[in-house]
Structures are given as C-alpha cells and as structure tokens.
Amino acid sequence: MKTILKLGLFTISALSLISFGWATQEDVLKTSKGDLKISCIRHGTLMFAFEGKIIHIDPVSQYADYATLPKADLILITHEHGDHLDPKAIEAIRKPTTEIIATEACKATLPTAVVMKNGDTKTFQGIKIEAVPAYNNSPGVSFHPKGRGNGYVLTFADKRVYVAGDTENIPELAALKGVDVAFLPVNLPYTMSVEMAAAAAKVLQPKMFYPYHFGNSDIAKLVELLKGEKGIEVRVRDMK
C-alpha cells in the first residue's frame, strides 16, 4: 500500500512493509542539490538518503529487518544505550567503506568508530556533521549525563537536519540556528515531556518537526500545544 501527498517543499510517501512486521514512512525534502529522503523507522531509528549516500542513525534490529535495507555509507550513534547502539544491526548494514561516528562511551563496542564530542564539527563523505550536547538537566534525573551523548546536526546542501538523541530541553538548543528539520525525543523521564518538546520546538523554529522516541507520550497534546505556531509543521510518525 502506497500513498503520496505533496505539501510545500515536501513529498510524503507512506509505504507499509507488512511482510517485515514493521512500517516506515519516507518524506522527500527538496534541497539545492537534489532530494533528501528521510525514512522514519521506529523509536530513535532513522535513515537518510542523499546524493547516492545512505546515512543510518541509531540502527536497532528490534525496529527493522536490516538485512533488507540499503547498506550504510555513514552510521551515526548518539550514545551507548541498547535502544540506540546495536552491533547486530550495524554489522547487517556495514560495508568495507562504511564510516561510523559515535561517542567515546561507544568505543568499547565500536573500536573503529570516529569519536565526536559535543562541539565537534567534521565532514564525512561531503556531509557536514556537528555533534551537539544531549543530556538530562532536570533535578534528580541522570539517565543521560552531560557530555556523554551527542545530538547531531547534518547539513544536506542548503538544509540542516537536527537529530537530538536522548536529551531534555537544554539551554544549548538556543544556539542551534537555521534548523530546517528537527527530531526531538518525547518520553519523560528519560528525555523531554510533551511541554518541554513544544517549548524546544518554539526555540528551534524548524520548518518540520518530528516527535520521535516517544513511547506512550500524549503526542496529540504536543500537536495541540504547537497549533498556531507559524512556520512549524508537526509531522507525526509511529516512532514509539
């Protein structure tokens, strides 16, 4: 089953892969150098395709049959928790030329990974990647200590995509400028509450906002909180 919806700069293609027991939806964002295909898989797991390159973010076997997915040119891991770092999924999509970008805490599992720390900016295969902070800052919450995990901002030609990783609405978000697409996690107490995610979206002002990694959060309430926020389109996918 396949449906197509055109909306502004985005072409939305929803494809159900029932035979594999999971579903993904693909959005196509027009850039100055061609289409960026954004595939929402599940939870915190994403895949991008741009200029012949495949970028996997936090691939996890629980959320997809990785034997059926395109091999990776780049793999980005936000942090070492098992719902973000899965060696089995990585091996299924890895090829000899695949580059893996991860945090220092992931090195024990991924010894060949290139480590990026908060504040680092590097270019891999023509794609600029910025590692930005991702942490808990609520009193008494320490699932994700400051400095240990990454969010990533990826630049695809003239478009900037922010994948937040596991974070709350931290002050550093205000420094992220010109974000076109933002993925923000919404699963208190590990990451953001619905209210935090709405506030973060208002700070970032992305043209497209995807709530992700959202468990049983009330996403309808999140959409309601952002209703009337000019310039932000909330795009809800099945990202439990």
The pLDDT of residue 79 is 98
Q: What is d(CA 102, CA 148) in angstroms, rounded to the nearest whole number?
A: 11
Position 51 pLDDT exceeds 60: yes
Q: Alpha-carbon distance 85 to 155, whole Å?
A: 23
What is the DSSP annotation of 77-123? ---SSTTT--HHHHHHH--TT-EEEE-GGGTTT-TTPEE--TT-EEE
pLDDT in tens, 152-211: 999 999 999 999 999 999 999 999 999 999 999 999 899 999 999 999 999 999 999 999
Domains of the chain with CATH codes: 2-234 (3.60.15.10)
Q: Report the alpha-carbon distance of residue 162 to residue 118 in Å, rounded.
A: 14
Q: How far apart are CA 26 and CA 29, in angstroms?
A: 10
What confidence category does residue 13 fall into, taking pLDDT thresholds of 50, 70 and 90? very low
pLDDT on residue 192: 96
Q: Enumerate residues 6+ apart whose C-beta is below 8 A from 98.
A: 71, 72, 73, 74, 75
Residue 177 parent element (H or E):
none
Q: How far apart, in whole angstroms, are the C-alpha atoms of residue 152 and residue 48?
A: 13
Please check the confidence at residue 21 and state whether its pLDDT lies above 60: no
> How confident is the model over 127-150, as pLDDT tens digits?
999 999 999 999 999 999 999 999
**pLDDT computed for residue 10 by the predictor:** 38
Checking if the pLDDT of 235 tops 90, the result is yes
Lowest mean pLDDT among 4-18, 27-41, 71-85, 100-114: 4-18
Mean confidence (pLDDT) of the chain: 90
Give the global pTM: 0.91
Closest CA to 72 of 103, 113, 35: 113
